[in-house]
Amino acid sequence: QEQLVESGGGLVQAGGSLRLSCAASGSVFNSYYMSWYRQAPGKQRELVALISRGGITNYADSVKGRFTISRDNAMNTVYLQMNSLKPEDTGVYYCKARLGRNVYWGQGTQVTVSS
């Protein structure tokens, strides 16, 4: 059973930056596809960014050019660098790990962007 722990959320003004971290407990981290999702109040959870085992990345159109996902396999950690934040980026950000049919979620970290 993989455990994921997110950190780095908080309150920031529009135009600011935050870096989220997601630490995994297992020993096969480098085999996982890792992704970040977010959920705004009253809305469905949406994919923000993902990174493959080989480091290939993909982003939601709304965050392209502003967010960067990366991974450090030695540290069992995936990051989400968020720049030029907007109020519409507000939500709970979740980390997800996937390996085949096995899917694991973190508990989420709140990001609030004030205008």
- Give pLDDT tens digits for 44-75: 999 999 999 999 999 999 999 999 999 999 99
* pLDDT at residue 30 in the model: 85
Determine the 3-state secondary structure of 29 from DSSP.
helix
Closest by CA position to 96, among listed 20, 10, 41: 20
Which residues, 6 or more positions from 17, have their beta carbon under 8 angstroms from its beta carbon? 81, 82, 83, 84, 85
Q: What's the pLDDT tens digit per position in 21-38?
A: 999 997 788 889 999 999
Residue 115: pLDDT band (50, 70, 90) is very high
Number of residues in the chain: 115
Determine the 3-state secondary structure of 94 from DSSP.
strand
How far apart are alpha carbons 26 and 44 in whole angstroms? 28
Q: How far is CA 27 from CA 3, 56, 83, in A?
A: 11, 21, 31
How far apart are alpha carbons 60 and 37 in whole angstroms? 10
